[in-house]
A and B are shown apart, each in its own frame.
Chain A
Amino acid sequence: MAFRVVHYINQFFANVGGEEMAHIAPELREGKVGPGMAFETAWKGEAVIVNTIVCGDSYFAEHEKDAKEQVVAWVKEINPDMFIAGPAFNAGRYGYACANIALEVKTQLGIPVLTGMYEENPGADLKDKILITPTANSAAGMRKAAPTMAKLALKLMKGEVLGASCEEGYMPNGIRVNFFEKERGAKRAVKMLINKINGKAFTTEFPMPNFDRVEPGKAIPDMSKVVLGLATSGGIVSKGNPDHIEASSASHYGEYDIEGWDALTAEGWETAHGGYDPVYANENPNRVMPIDVLRQMEKEGKIGKLHRYFYSTVGNGTAVASSRKFAEEYAQKMLKAGVQACIMTST
């Protein structure tokens, strides 16, 4: 017997209407509607869409609780093998609805769920919680998306073990799957390099995070009046690490008062960093946070004065998002204190 699927789509894909019909409440229809056809074609009789739920995108956004209750109640009654929503491509409210209704069905009823959308669709924020197939940014991508989703759906219904996201066609969800590549690493790397040199397309196996850029700050011709701030990712902290900065994957930063310190001493300071040999920094913490020479420069008038506090965290496996948050916060503290320039040291 064929697997039974319930499919969720919006007013547009159900051919009810566009924006003017986005207010419609969920309705339950028999069989497939619109894009469901493409799934059934790909399933070749192994699975069928028993019901389609059509819901207006605005209705879902404005009555999320009611919409979820109604949809879950229907799906529970129909008792299908699987729930599929979308694909939503780059339609923001539709993508949000697809991801959230799929998550609700999965949580409440425990059946497999799948949706599809463009990677920048806000609904894709839930990619760690439900399976989402990446699609093109417009409905023109249906021809490519439907077979991928259909195949993945069938695997889920059969209870087969899923391979890696790149093989199966879902957005990386943070779960690592081991698999054997057909070619060894060296060969793949050389191929990639040759493609790169020849200006041809290649796919990295280790995507780097995207770092944005900030315009260089204006030059300061005269440093002799400047309040200088200090920060480090080298983990220099008061002896005993009173703020409990973690040795790796730091969850916070510390603020340390250097009033009255002419140099950092081994008795008063240490490093909390777990990613480098701490012997040298513990022996002489100025090797990471150069308070000794900066105090001399203060006396010589090379700089105006040092800001009373320095900011420190451990940059060892610490998430980019965390680092950003730390610095956003202490940059404001520096601003309030009148800091005009800042030296950051890293190990």
Chain B
Amino acid sequence: MVKEIERVGIPVVHMCTITPISLTVGANRIIPTIAIPYPLGNPALTPEDEYALRYKLVDAAIKAFSVDIDKQTVFEF
């Protein structure tokens, strides 16, 4: 799905936990996330900390849009 969106000229950041799959299917900007059932959260944290974690992850995704890349890139942060 990421490719079909990117194909029409809309850059995509893929946020996912299993980055090897994302690389295999061909996502170009990839942000690794926390876990399969809660990619953008962590139920073990307090609601405030969990929100902060999610904010940090999505912020990384927003920043990834501004980075020029010429090949598939997994952004570590």
Contacts and interface: CB of A to CB of B under 8 A. Distances in A.
22 contacts: A214-B3, A216-B71, A217-B6, A217-B9, A217-B28, A219-B68, A220-B65, A226-B65, A281-B38, A290-B57, A293-B59, A294-B58, A296-B55, A302-B62, A303-B62, A327-B2, A327-B3, A330-B5, A342-B10, A343-B13, A345-B15, A347-B36
Contacts of A215: 6, 28
B19 to A, nearest CB: 10
Interface string B36-55: 11111101000000110011
A344 B1 contact: yes
Contact count band on B? 35 or more
Contact of B37 (A220, A276, A335, A343): A276
B10 A229 contact: yes
B1 A341 contact: no
A212 B55 CA distance: 32
Interface of B: 1-18, 21-22, 24-29, 33, 36-41, 43, 50-51, 54-55, 57-59, 61-62, 65-73
A65 to B, nearest CB: 38
A280 B37 contact: yes
Interface of A: 208, 211-223, 226, 229, 231, 233-234, 276-281, 283-284, 286-288, 290, 292-294, 296-297, 302-303, 313, 323-324, 326-328, 330-332, 334-335, 339-347
